[in-house]
Amino acid sequence: MTLPERIIRYILKKQTTTLIELEGVVVSKGYTLDELFTALETVHRDKRIKHVANASGEITYSIAANKTKEPGSHLAWLREHYPQMDSTNDGSGIEADYSYLFLSPDEMKKYKAELRGGMYNRKRNGYPRR
Whether 29 shows a pLDDT value over 70: the answer reads yes
Helices 33-45 and 19-28, packing angle to 10 deg: 130
In degrees and rounded to multiples of 5, residue 69 shows phi and psi of -110, 145
Residue spans per domain, the chain? 3-63, 96-130
The per-residue pLDDT of the chain, averaged, comes to 84
Radius of gyration of the chain measured on its C-alpha atoms: 34
pLDDT single digits (tens) 47-79: 999 999 988 889 999 999 887 778 878 888 888
Name the pLDDT band for 126 (thresholds 50, 70, 90). low
Whether 123 shows a pLDDT value over 70: the answer reads no
Q: What is the pLDDT of residue 13?
A: 93
Instruction: List the one residue out of 9, 1, 11, 3 whose CA is nearest residue 41.
Output: 3
pTM score above 0.85: no
Q: What is the pLDDT of residue 109?
A: 85
Fold of 3-63: Arc Repressor Mutant, subunit A (1.10.10)
H, E, C per residue of 66-82: CCCCCCCHHHHHHHHHC
Q: What is the pLDDT of residue 63?
A: 93
Angstrom distance (rounded) from CA 7 to CA 91: 54
Name the pLDDT band for 10 (thresholds 50, 70, 90). very high
Whether 9 shows a pLDDT value over 90: the answer reads yes
**Do 121 and 109 contact (CB within 8 A), yes or no?**
no
**Do 103 and 111 contact (CB within 8 A), yes or no?**
yes
Q: What is the pLDDT of residue 119?
A: 66
